[in-house]
Structure 1
Amino acid sequence: MGEHLKLWYDAPADPDPAAWESGALPVGGGALGAIQLGGVAVDRLAIDEKTLWTGGPHSREGYDHGIPGEDEAGGYAAALAELRRRIAEDGEADPEQAVALAGRPRTGYGSHQVLGHLVPAFPGHTAEPGSYRRELDLESAVARVRYVSGGVRYVRELFASHPDGVLALRVSADRAGALAMELDLPTPDNRTRAAEASGTGASGTAASGTGSMAVSGALHDNGMRYAAALRVAVEGRDGDARLTARPDGGLSIAGADAVTVLLAAATDFAGGPEDPEVAAARTVQAAAERSWVELLERHTSDHRALFDRVGLDIGQHADAEGYGEGYGDSTDGEAPDLPTDRLLAAYGTPGSTPAADRRLEALFFQYGRYLLIASSRAGSLPAHLQGVWNDTTAPPWGADYHTNINLQMCYWLAETANLRETVPPLVDFVDALREPGRLAARRMLGAERGWVVHNETNPFGFTGVHDWATSFWFPEGAAWCALHLMERWRFGGDGDAADLAFLRERAWPVLREAAEFWLEALVADPRDGTLVANPSYSPEHGVFTAGAAMAQQIVAELFDSVSEAAAVLGPVGEDAAVVAEVAKARERLDPGLRIGDWGQLREWKEERDDPEDHHRHVSQLFALHPGRAVTPASTPELADAARATLRARGDGGTGWSKAWKINFWARLEDGDHAHLMLRQLLRESVLPNLWDTHPPFQLDGNLGATAGIAEMLLASHEGELVLLPALPSAWARAGSVRGLRARGGLEVDLAWRDGVPTRVVLRASRGGRVAVRGVTTLDVTAGESYTVL
């Protein structure tokens, strides 16, 4: 691509374990991930297998999905009725009152666990080597460390292979026999551990030695079994290479030219027939039968098949002057290649240049795509709050799944940024929540139909509540998750028949049941007869009321999606009856769209908004994004009210909050303000390794920002293509984007000059009529390409 799509640094990351999230470079293959610090004498790679969790049905604490038992259901119903009574009489209930009535102490919820730390050590390597460089190549998904010590040039290459299911590390030296190395895999003390190592020394010209390490055990909390299996291959040309298994379970290597380490991991989370030790050993053995070159080629080909679909030029190759010296030579028309931490520190300052700033923005966009590919692939769980990267046994928020925005935000870019292969883990995860969610709907809210999930969940189907007053209540979580399955249908991409099968077999059951819950859970507001959620709570803000804007907007979007899906599927029988119920309820539903006294879009049904309130959540704008009910073209007065809300709420907030605001301003077709929010995010809420920080590090800010940049360049949520809806003036002179996707099964290439599209090419995977705003309307056929401009 020639876009300098590398994060690189001229020094190792801070080795302090407390500082890992600011400097580590991540690799991931979906289920298996690692972060590398790049130390010289000692490196430290945190290894993560996404299903390794404490908690769940076998937890020592006990586990009930956060749902009352059968014997408690009556008491819970009474408590909920009391909460509703207080809201009806007083108009509100304080969160502490609400949690006292309807919250539950959380037991056995658990948290994600780091598997262990792969620690390669290099005796005698200088602490200040020459020509040091560590980098993460986004195009190949390979992390590298290079340096010179004792006159020898050493290179480490690291990747996590999705096709082969292994973490692969290769260390080499440019002088024969110069590589000495110790290898260990310590694990935390909250588990049992059994470790063993074996090795066969190398000898003879061009000979190699092989060794292995195995670590296995069980978590103390729930007995979840885990295993890691390593295969080590030592290459040596002079007959002196040696590989020795140490009594403590580690390996020692001396006199080598190169060493290749392959690691596979497994747990018994899924309850499959294969023992984790057997599964890990089988996987690593299969990978070890391939050469390093073949493993690398398979990994790179798999990654680039997704990553290379989208290219972005926003001016990062324009002429730039004014850099300091010593960090690479400038080529004609391009900025010199600064280390990423310096590029970030200079961003938006007088010491930077437009080309350098555009380079960081383009890199950040593609980094979001890289992170989703690395943390969400078929066959495992979806990306959690930290993707698939965690260095501890006590991660913030358990590295879990928050459904009041964070999980959903992680997947906003999946369709627009042409990464639909990353969505199956989310689809499977949401589908699996239906069974425990039905129990929560019945026992907690008295709904005999449908399913529900609240504010947060885990891999064990937690669908109830906990007892944190400001975030325990969010029954809209299931509906919002279900909407992602509808979006997958809208974007298409697998061809007409396959897309239709997905809508019928995967999306429809989830959407229907989510709607059935709300058909029973909504109540008539005695003030105006409209159907409202009661109790409702605008996430993490304010008081409990009836009919909070976000709750109403999500339910409206759900009901509209059910009707849209039904129009395609033509349901009969019970399905048709549900569709009719939804249509009637939609007519009575309070849509949660009111303009307030100071011109704002209200957050609550009552006039409660404070123009001096700068809370990080702007939940009342769900209908603007990711919803579709508020647009400048179709509802200009509501769009103006959304602008008033955003201006009053301000441009501050945590990292993910700024990312959401990029999307808001893009939907309002204000490119300069969307770009301002991107600048705020990069300057205030991004760590040196370009991870978003809340703080702490959260993946949603990265992925949400990438989605926002895509929204700035192409929109399709109003039933037509809108080219460059929010192009900022900083990018307007000339640029291009290749491979973005739009609803209707379309892939779009787009170039512009002076803010005006100059070339537009559409590729269709689904037949139908396509309207391009202000340009043309045409009929497309699946498999064909069309040059519009």
Structure 2
Amino acid sequence: MTLWYDEPATDWETQALPIGNGPLGAMVFGGVAGERLQFNEKTLWTGGPGSPGYDFGNWTSPRPGAIAEVRRQIDRDGSMAPEAVAAVLGQARSGYGAYQTFGDLFLDLPGAPATPEGYRRELSLREAVARVGYSAGGVRHSREYFASNPGGVIAGRLSADRPGAVSFTLRHTSPHEDKTVTAAGGRLTVRGRLSDNGMVFEAQVQVIAQGGTRTDAGDRITVTGADSAVLVLSGGTDYADTYPAYRGEDPHAMVTATVDAAAATPYDELRRRHVADHRELFDRVALDLGGAAPAGVPTDRLRASYTGGASAADRALESLFFAYGRYLLIASSRENDLLPANLQGVWNTSTAPPWSADYHVNINLQMNYWLAEQTNLHETAKPYIRYVAALVEPGRRTARDMYGARGWVVNDETTPFGFTGVHDWPTAFWFPEAAAWLTQHLYDTYRFTGDETYLRETAYPVLKGAAEFWLDFLHTDPRDGTLVVSPSYSPEHGDFSAGAAMSQQIVREVLANAVAAARTLGVDADLQAEAGAALARLDHGLRVGSWGQLQEWKSDRDARDDTHRHVSHLYALHPGDRIRPGTPEAEAAKVSLAARGDGGTGWSKAWKINFWARLLDGDHAHRMLAEQLKGSTLDNLWDTHPPFQIDGNFGAAAGIAEMLVQSRHDVVHVLPALPSAWKDGSVRGLRARGDVTVDAVWRNGAPDTVTVRKGRTGPITVRSSFVAGGCRVHDERGHEAGARRDGDTLTWTARAGTAYTITSSRNAPTISL
């Protein structure tokens, strides 16, 4: 569970190693003559209130009849070019802004050798600690860094195996000119106010030297002849996630108190608390694919030699990639975060990052969190849930003023500042279905946990508002009288039309989820009736076309040679659950996937892992994983679009989990898409809907034992291929569970917290089923 390299990093994107505690992140380079720590704090953004002309994306002047005119043209002509729709409904972005780097800490190291001996740079995923080590002149130099969530800081220690051998000068650089840097009392303070929007930002770094001397001079700190030295860094801004001002308290007091507390804590204790906190999350899941990395082979060369075959080295890289996805989510999204992971998680080295490193909500933000519940990282989804809830208030204004509808809406892209309206990029400005899609995870969290208090107080109000929007905004299709989304656009592909498949599938889901939630809570009978009536008239969005494909649009116009990266019309297969394996729609989805091919950007390949897993084709899902590792993964194992986008890491980890455990339609399906390349292995701690935790062992490509634990007493249904051949189901004390078998499915009543093990007949002393 370690990434390691035998050379320093020279490139931020492809080589440096990420650490993070949710709000804070840093990239470690591990240089010899100088160390570079590029760092971020997730709320440092340009744009929004205070930025000239910021309008939340809402139309700056009324456009009565604009949407109705687009609908009329689509009703008449069947479609409309994106450029034509954008000319009527879009507007230039103003004050949108971008995620910002906080800058770089540099440690200038005197007397560094040109060719150090025994160099190693590594990132331990189980500890969340980055290390650098090398020898020079008979002295072993060591550095380590971690981002502590309990401490609220990034911390590091420089040491050597000879007393007095630690010397360096600490300085800060940044592309932001609107700041000051001062040094006093061993503390470097960076403070400023963004000229774009007036946001106040501050970072502090405390230097604690053991032995030697420390000198504070202007904007830098020098340590000479120390035995060791500790660095403690924290930062913040005056951002607040409250509409419409999005401003809170000056960060100075908070940053000062955080650094003071961490600096007063012994380093070993700070590190111990950090590792314990991280491992409480990370160690919940363990995946063993029977792999072993060759001794002495660094991670970049392991990746370069990967073929996607059945070698032990390939299995080791796949296991590492899965663990890395979970590590990155822990590092970039924690329960005390104001903001969820963005397009780059929490890491960004630019003032103008690709796509602003924003929140794209036509798949990317949603994909970031597919693995959260599945891979037992429930807490990491809390910033996502908080963020979606914070979009409701600005989204209500957009729904009212632009769409004339109740509820709330957000379109294709958004920011921390409630940007819920539109811009004017023709193929990526209009996607009002995004709000409904965003609520899927909120409702799915309830399905995983069964927490009705959460459903009532948190998820349902957001879900209800997203459903209300569509009850007002659906359009009657003159072709057949069904209710359709119009104008409708299948991201980021083709023309505008009425009733594109993805639009219909998402709207059906949000209405059905709202009805189910209201029934569970016993509330809103009128909404249940209204949504039920709309569902009865809603176009179904699942059509098999002339060459056997699942149609992307309501009209049959899919091209056989279309290899577009978005496969949006398969939403009902994944992340939705309407398409079941073995149905005509599932067979049509296979045809569509085969036509689109196995290429695409990194996140697109990750989505295809999930698609093929849902179709129970483990070998094709594994082929997509291999394609992602071979063609869309960088040396530091970050996903690349290109450039770097973190959603591919998260989506691939979710896809591996889908190959091992699926839980749809009240059935926990264990090892549903096990590829032939994974001959022997085990997994522990995956989660299934229904508040179920799952462990599994397989041998010779077949399930051997499955253990499930349900958090609440009640019925449980487990499906796996070995059940049909006979098995035994017993609890921890060896008592039979009284399971009923139906083919490859078992059902029994499970007691809360009790582990039930299903053993194949070949290993069971008796066959009871």
Calculate the TM-score normalised by the size of structure 2.
0.93
Q: Deviations over 1:558-611 (max 9, x none)?
A: 11211221231111xxx2211111111001101210000000000000011001
Equivalent position of 2:693 in the other structure: 747
Shift of 1:337: 4.5
**For residue 417 of structure 1, what is the aligned residue in structure 2?**
375
Give the drift of 1:353.
Answer: 6.6
Q: 2:8 aligns with which of 6, 9, 12?
A: 12
SS at match of 2:331: helix
Name the counterpart of 1:341.
300
Matched, 1:515 2:461: no
Distance 1:461 1:358 in 2: 43
Distance (Å, rounded) in 2 between the aligned partners of 1:86 and 1:550 = 21
Q: What SS does the corresponding residue of 1:158 show, helix, strand or coil?
A: strand
Match of 1:336, as an amino acid?
Answer: A
**1:111 Cα deviation after fit:** 0.5
Q: How far is the alpha carbon of 1:754 from its aligned partner? A: 2.1
For 1:148, give the aligned amino acid: S
Q: Choose 266-275 or 340-349, whichever is displaced more.
A: 266-275
Does residue 137 of structure 2 align to residue 146 of structure 1?
A: no
Shift of 1:278: 1.6
Residue 232 (structure 2) pairs with residue 262 (structure 1): yes
CA contact (8 A) 1:125 1:150 kept: no
> Match for residue 645 of structure 1?
592
2:439 counterpart (482, 485, 488): 482
Conservation of the 8 A alpha-carbon contact between 1:316 and 1:335: no
Aligned to 1:734: 680
Question: Which residue of structure 1 lines up, in the alignment, with residue 540 of structure 2?
Answer: 591
Amino acid at match of 1:389: W
Instruction: Please point out which of 765, 769, 772 is paired with 2:715.
Output: 769
Q: What are the residue-to-residue correspondences of 1:412-561 with 2, within 5 Å?
A: 412-447=370-405, 449-492=406-449, 499-561=451-513
C-alpha distance after superposition, 1:27-56 (max 9, x if no partner): 000000000111111121111000000000
3-state SS of the aligned residue for 2:490?
Answer: coil
**Aligned-partner SS, 2:497:** coil
Structure 1 position 289, deviation (Å): 1.2
- Which residue does the alignment assign to 2:42? 50
2:33 corresponds to 1:41: yes
Is 1:234–1:243's contact at 8 Å kept on the other side of the alignment? yes
Q: Deviations over 1:198-222 (max 9, x none)?
A: 24xxxxxxxxxxx111110100100
1:137-168 Cα offsets, whole Å, 9 max, x none, are 00000000101122211111000001110000
Letter paired with 1:675: H
Cα distance, 1:775 vs structure 2 = 4.1
2:190/2:202 contact within 8 Å kept: yes
Q: Which residue of 2 aligns with 1:229?
A: 204
1:759 maps to what in 2?
705
Q: CA–CA distance in 2 between the matches of 1:504 and 1:788?
A: 35
Task: Tell me if the contact between 1:173 and 1:257 (Cα under 8 Å) persists in the aligned partners.
Answer: yes
Question: How many Å separate the matches in 2 of 1:624 and 1:637?
Answer: 12
Q: Which residue of 1 aligns with 2:603?
A: 656
1:192 aligned partner: 178
SS in 1 for 2:488: coil
- Alpha-carbon separation, structure 1, partners of 2:283 and 2:193: 40
Counting only pairs closer than 5 Å after superposition, residues 680-759 of structure 1 correspond to structure 2 as 680-731=627-678, 733-759=679-705
Is it true that 1:605 corresponds to 2:601 in the alignment? no
- Counterpart AA for 1:428: R
3-state SS of 2:560 partner: coil
Quick check: 1:306–1:419 contact (8 Å CA) kept in 2? Answer: yes
**1:223 offset after TM fit, Å?**
0.7
1:177-202 CA-partner distances (Å, limit 9, x unpaired): 0111010112223x421221124xxx
Distance 2:417 2:336 in 1: 16
Deviations 1:469-522 (A, max 9, x none): 010000000000011100100000xxx6xx110011111001111000000000
Cα pair 2:140 2:161 within 8 Å, conserved: yes
Length-normalised TM-score, structure 1: 0.91
Per the alignment, residue 21 of structure 2 pairs with: 29
Deviations 1:51-77 (A, max 9, x none): 000000111x221110024xx23x2x3
Quote the Cα distance in structure 2 between the aligned partners of 1:776 and 1:82.
55
Between the aligned partners of 1:57 and 1:457, the Cα distance in structure 2 is 14
Contact 2:515–2:527 (CA under 8 A) maintained in structure 1: no
Query: How far is 1:378 from its partner?
Result: 1.6
- State the partner residue of 2:725: none
Provide Cα deviations, 1:722-775, integer angstroms capped at 9, x if missing partner.
1111000000x2111000000000001111112222111111212221111214
Displacement of 1:307: 0.2
Q: Is the 8 A contact 2:40 2:102 kept in 1?
A: yes
1:417 Cα deviation (Å)? 0.5
Within 5 A, what are the aligned runs for 1:383-394?
383-394=341-352
**How far apart are the structure 2 equivalents of 1:752 and 1:376?**
32
- Indicate the residue corresponding to 1:279 in structure 2: 254
| Counterpart position of 1:114 | 101
**Correspondence for 2:362:** 404
SS of the aligned residue for 2:684 comes to strand
How far residue 79 of structure 1 moved from its aligned partner, in angstroms, is 2.1
Please state how far the C-alpha of 1:232 moved relative to its aligned partner: 0.8
In structure 2, distance between residues paired with 1:49 and 1:755: 45
Aligned residue for 1:162? 149
Cα deviations across residues 282-311 of structure 1 (Å, max 9, x unaligned)? 100011111111000000000000000101
**TM superposition shift of 1:112:** 0.5
Determine the C-alpha separation between the residues in 2 that align with 1:539 and 1:756: 39
Map of 2:317 onto structure 1? 360
Cα deviation for residue 83 of structure 1 reads 1.3
Contact 1:67 1:463 (8 Å CA) reproduced: yes
Q: Tell whether the 8 Å contact from 1:671 to 1:726 is kept in structure 2 after alignment.
A: yes
Counterpart residue number, 1:625: 574
* Aligned twin of 1:616: 565
Q: CA offsets per residue over residues 695-721 of structure 1, 9 Å max, x none? A: 110000000000000000011013201
CA distance in 2, matches of 1:637, 1:560: 22
- Per-residue deviation, residues 522-571 of structure 1 (Å, max 9, x unmatched): 01101111100000000010000000000000011111211221231111
Deviation of the 1:273 alpha carbon:
6.1
CA contact (8 A) 1:229 1:277 kept: no
Moved more, 595-604 or 334-343: 334-343
Q: Could you tell me how far apart the structure 1 residues matched to 2:247 and 2:87 are?
A: 40
Unaligned runs of 5+ in 2: 241-245, 720-743, 760-769
Q: Secondary structure at the match of 2:703?
A: strand
Q: Which residue of 2 aligns with 1:313?
A: 288
Q: Distance in 2 between matches of 1:753 and 1:178?
A: 53
CA-CA distance at 1:242 after TM superposition: 0.8
Whole-angstrom distance in 2 between the partners of 1:605 and 1:438: 29
**1:337–1:490 CA distance, 2 compared to 1 (3 A):** farther
SS in 1 for 2:143: strand
Length, aligned pairs only: 729
Structure 1 gap ranges (5+):
200-210, 318-333
Percent identity of equivalent pairs: 57
CA distance in 1, matches of 2:551, 2:290: 39
**AA in 1 matched with 2:423:** H
